């Protein structure tokens, strides 16, 4: 279907589960969130590099990204750190991320221990983490220069009411074989609606 079906199911949070080697896994989707070893490098290569970042945000007043699947926030923190480290960064960074099964702040903080380079970012993010209820939650970071808009709920339904024009898209849901809903024609149509002619897209899948 190319249209979104309205859903009334309550939000079901994710629970942090680790494989024997420490890799975070999803029992619901029988898939990994990412590898512990090299997860940050993978985020930089696949998602930032795949969208031509940080070059594309340089000299701009604002740059906006949309992500399908916030997960443990690795892509967000990798993007935030790269933006912070770039002296030619845009004046403002807006990061919109959809998540049907968000983690608690405690689970995020525990998972983030695997990446000490994100420690100050994780502390700020977890301190501002919202209550796990459906809808949009806005977090202002770096004195308002970084805006994280978290959309908790079904991707197709919640993006249908999103008013935005994004410069880059991170497709980072679980694989299409494990989570086909996030790769449906209806979701892709919403992504197209939120894009403009210069928008880029990257995915590992």
CA distance linking residue 125 with residue 73, whole number of Å: 9
Which among 38, 45, 51 is positioned nearest to 199, based on CA atoms?
51
What is the spatial distance between Cα 115 and Cα 119, in angstroms, rounded to a whole number? 7
Q: Residue 105 is inside which H or E element, if any?
A: helix 105-112
In angstroms, the CA 148 to CA 80 distance is 10
pLDDT in tens, 171-191: 976 666 656 677 889 999 999
Q: Could you give the 3-state DSSP secondary structure of residue 32?
A: strand
> Alpha-carbon dihedral of residues 131, 18, 159, 184, nearest 10 degrees?
-150
pTM to 2 decimals? 0.88
Q: Which class for 97: exposed (0-12), middle (13-18), buried (19 or more C-beta within 10 A)?
A: buried
Q: What is the pLDDT of residues 92-125, one digit of tens each?
A: 999 999 999 999 999 999 989 989 999 999 999 9
Which ranges of the chain have pLDDT less than 70?
Answer: 1-9, 19-37, 173-180
pLDDT of residue 29: 46
Tell me how long the chain is: 205
């Amino acid at each position: 279907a190319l249209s979104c079906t309205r859903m009334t199911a309550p939000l079901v949070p994710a629970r942090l589960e680790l494989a024997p080697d420490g890799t975070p896994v999803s029992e619901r989707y029988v898939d990994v969130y990412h590898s512990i070893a090299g997860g940050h490098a993978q985020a930089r290569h696949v998602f930032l590099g795949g969208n031509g970042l940080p070059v594309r945000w340089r000299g701009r007043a604002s740059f906006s990204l949309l992500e399908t699947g916030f997960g443990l926030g690795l892509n967000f923190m990798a993007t935030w750190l790269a933006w912070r480290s770039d002296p030619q960064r845009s004046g403002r960074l807006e990061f919109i991320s959809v998540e049907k099964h968000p983690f608690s702040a405690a689970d995020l903080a525990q998972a983030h221990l695997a990446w000490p380079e994100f420690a100050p970012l994780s502390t700020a993010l977890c301190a501002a983490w919202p209550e796990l209820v459906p809808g949009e939650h806005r977090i202002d970071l770096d004195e308002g220069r970084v805006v994280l808009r978290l959309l908790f709920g079904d991707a197709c339904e919640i993006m249908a009411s999103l008013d935005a024009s994004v410069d880059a898209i991170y497709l980072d849901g679980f694989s299409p074989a494990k989570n086909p809903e996030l790769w449906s024609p209806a979701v892709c149509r919403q992504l197209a609606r939120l894009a403009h002619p210069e928008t880029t897209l990257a995915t590992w899948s």
